[in-house]
């Protein structure tokens, strides 16, 4: 397996990031809240500034993106997604394990939210995340 690499996102990555988000998570977002293209695009960049993203690469290819918010006592995986061709190959597991280790070394919790119908929840369960809160659409999970 080629290990995934991260690099800071730049302006040239903006379209790739949003289109990858849409390709991987639209179905889940639509289930939870509905999908309005303009609202999603505007809200996406308002809540996830480009400067906060890292592009995930596999070899020379862009495979997805990740946004981790760093707080004083916690880190929060705001967004992680991989294009379908790179899913189920261990990339997400490797990246999240790195984040778990980083949070533990810093004495912080690592949290994330997942839409209830997203099969990625099984990955988060396997990695030791536990549900600490939920609403109709999402689980809030924490690495234990």
Profile the chain (144 residues) by mean pLDDT over runs of 10 residues.
86 96 94 92 92 93 95 95 92 94 96 96 96 97 90
d(CA 57, CA 3): 9
pLDDT at residue 1, as a whole number: 57
What angle do the packed helices 14-33 and 37-47 form, to 10 degrees? 110
H or E segment to which residue 33 belongs: helix 14-33
Do 81 and 119 touch, CB atoms closer than 8 A? no
pLDDT of res. 144:
74
**Residue 60 has what pLDDT?**
87
Q: Set out the domains of the chain in order of their start, with CATH numbers.
A: 5-143 (3.40.630.30)
Query: Which pLDDT value is given to residue 19?
Result: 95
Report pLDDT for 2. 64
| Per-residue CA distances from 117 to 22, 51, 104, 143 (Å) | 16, 29, 28, 20
């Amino acid at each position: 397996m080629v290990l995934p690499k991260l690099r800071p996102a730049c302006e040239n990555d903006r379209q790739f990031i949003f289109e990858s988000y849409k390709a991987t998570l639209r179905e889940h977002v639509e289930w939870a809240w509905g999908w309005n293209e303009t609202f999603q695009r505007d809200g996406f960049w308002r809540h996830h500034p480009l400067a906060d993203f890292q592009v995930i690469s596999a070899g020379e290819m862009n495979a997805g993106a990740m946004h981790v918010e760093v707080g004083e006592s916690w880190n929060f995986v705001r967004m992680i997604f991989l294009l379908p061709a790179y899913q189920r190959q261990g990339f997400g597991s490797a990246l999240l394990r790195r984040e778990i280790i980083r949070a533990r070394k810093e004495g912080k919790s690592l949290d994330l939210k997942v839409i209830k119908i997203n099969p990625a929840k099984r990955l988060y369960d396997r990695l030791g995340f536990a549900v600490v809160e939920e609403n109709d659409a999402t689980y809030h999970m924490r690495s234990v």
